[in-house]
Amino acid sequence: MNSETGSEDPFDCIFMADNRYHCEAYKEGLAEGTRQGLLEGMSHGRMHGARFSTEMSFYYGFACAWKCLLQNNTDAKSRKRLRTLEALAVHIQAFPHNDPQHATLQQEVEKVRAKFRQVCSMMNVPADFREYVTVAAGVSF
């Protein structure tokens, strides 16, 4: 088995065969496991990333659109609303969206959700958009 050198004790081949076979198979398994792990991880990651992005992007688009609609209003109420909308937009952009291992991701998401509810309450609109969009079942905010 030590065909490369041919100079070693042939009994070594027998004694070490056990290890050798295990390791050869291990390497082959490692390559296959790595492939499987990457593909499985990517599938699941894609779903989680998509759900996260759907929600955060929704909030961001919502805040930006309202900002545009209210920007020319000068009354105190509108100014206050604009400040809250601005805070929501800034908060959404304040943390990385493409890092699922970001240390404070969950807290940031909760903060954004709370801010969004606050915005909805100020605008007198319901925070549950499933009422507005009946076909959007499965994507819950």
Partner 1 sequence: MSWVKSVSVVSEDVFEEDGSDIILQNKEWNNNMSKRVKDGYRDGVDAGKDASLQRGFNVGYREGVEKMVAVGQLKGILSALQCWCQLQHPGSPAFSSISHLLQDVSRHEDRVIERMKMNVGQQPPASVGEITEAVEDLQMEHSDTGCGGGGCSKDNCCRKEQTPEEGPTALQTPCQSTTHPTFSAEESVEPLLKRCMDLVVELGLPEELLHNLQQLRSL
Which of residues 10 and 76 has its CB atom nearest to partner 1 in the complex? 10
Question: How far apart are the C-alpha atoms of 86 and 63, rounded to whole Å?
Answer: 7
Which of residues 100 and 110 has its CB atom nearest to partner 1 in the complex? 100
Minimum distance between the CB of residue 19 and partner 1, rounded to whole angstroms? 5
Binding-site residue total for partner 1 (CB under 8 A)? 78
Q: Is there binding between residue 129 and partner 1 (CB under 8 A)? A: yes
* Helix, strand or coil, per DSSP, at residue 124: coil
Q: What are the structure tokens assigned to 117, written together?
A: 């509810």
Question: How far apart are the C-alpha atoms of 55 and 59, rounded to whole Å?
Answer: 6
What is the pattern of x (binds partner 1, CB under 8 A) and - over residues 106-125? -----------------xxx
Site for partner 1 in 23-82 (CB under 8 A): 23-69, 71-72
Residue 18 neighbours by CB under 8 Å, 6+ apart: none
CB-CB neighbours of 65 under 10 Å: 11
Minimum distance between the CB of residue 39 and partner 1, rounded to whole angstroms? 6
